[in-house]
Amino acid sequence: MNLSHPLRARRTRSSEIDQLAQERLAAEEAKAARRKQETLADVFRSFLHAPSAWVITVLLIAAVTARIPVGDWQLTDALVPVLMVAAFPFTEWVIHVCVLHWRPRTLGRWRIDSLLARKHREHHADPRIRQLVFIPWQTFLWLLPALLAIAFLAFARPGLGLTFLATVGALGLVYEWTHLLVHTDYQPHSAILRAVRRNHRLHHFKNEHYWFAVTTAGTADRILGTYPDPAQIPNSPTAKALHTPQAA
């Protein structure tokens, strides 16, 4: 049996996909170069229009305001934030992979597909839509009660639970701000932020199966095996259309 023709066809298709992905990234870079570069003040004004930024800020202020009069400061009030900051890159990676990139499934007559996953697919389809960069406000309808339950049921002291909530608020603001920043035309001066931006753009425009970190320069990706050499990874035809079946 002569397999040379199917093999040539697959190679041709792979080459076409690679070229299309490169053209897609080049086009995005060209458009970014033509656009007026944004300042941090410009980005911050966009940040102020995000409902999630206000919800998380209120959570942070409320937790800190309640924590101070409670007192009862102990070593664990320093240990919990340190552990949460250390774990955050991995928490972020798991959420990005397992929740945001959730592939819709059907269980009987039920379709399992969360709002977060749907909005994230829209975000990949057009990464420049600012509203889709942020956590959907509807998510907080269940997330805030869940966080309160964890704070006051999982911790031995009310003060420590409030420390947990304050840390969640701070990390949430860092996440939302960083994610917005790397999706704007702001050109970062920090080497770390430039690396964060580069990695996230690779995730969006080269291959959605890698570079899941958002707030760090690939910390969890390096450890969990999703930080390859970009030159060794094929460009994905579904980076802007997650879970779209590829033609055979």
HEC string of 203-224?
A: HHHCCCCCCCCCCCCCHHHHHH
The pLDDT value given to residue 243 = 78
> Rounded distance, CA 140 to CA 100, Å?
15
Q: What is the pLDDT of residues 209-227, one digit of tens each?
A: 999 999 999 999 999 999 9
The pLDDT value given to residue 109 = 85
Q: Closest Cα to residue 159, out of 59, 62, 67?
A: 67
The pLDDT value given to residue 32 = 56
Tell me whether residue 2 is in a domain: no
Q: How many CB atoms lie within 10 A of CB 225?
A: 9
pLDDT in tens, the chain (248 residues): 444 555 555 555 555 555 655 666 666 666 655 566 888 999 999 999 999 999 999 999 999 999 999 998 999 999 999 999 999 999 999 999 999 999 998 888 888 889 999 999 999 999 999 999 999 999 999 999 999 999 999 999 999 999 999 999 999 999 999 999 999 999 999 999 999 999 999 999 999 999 999 999 999 999 999 999 999 999 989 989 887 765 33
- The secondary element (H helix, E strand) that includes residue 110 is strand 110-112
Tell me whether residue 227 is in a domain: yes
Of the chain, the end-to-end C-alpha distance in Å amounts to 20
Tell me whether residue 183 is in a domain: yes
Alpha helices, DSSP H, located in 48-139: 51-70, 76-94, 115-125
Look up the domain containing 190 and give its range. Answer: 40-232
The pLDDT value given to residue 108 = 83
> Rounded distance, CA 177 to CA 40, Å?
11
Tell me whether residue 241 is in a domain: no
Tell me whether residue 13 is in a domain: no
Number of domains in the chain: 1
Q: Which residues of 184-216 are buried (b: 16+ CB within 10 A; e: fewer)?
A: bbbebeeeebeebbbbbbbbbbbbbbbbbbbbb
Q: Tokens 């590829």 correspond to what residue?
A: 246
Q: How many CB atoms lie within 10 A of CB 82?
A: 10
Asked if residues 110 and 22 have their Cβ atoms less than 8 Å apart, the reply is no
Asked if residues 164 and 80 have their Cβ atoms less than 8 Å apart, the reply is yes
- CB under 8 Å to 119, separation ≥6 — which residues? 132, 136
Asked if residues 201 and 160 have their Cβ atoms less than 8 Å apart, the reply is no
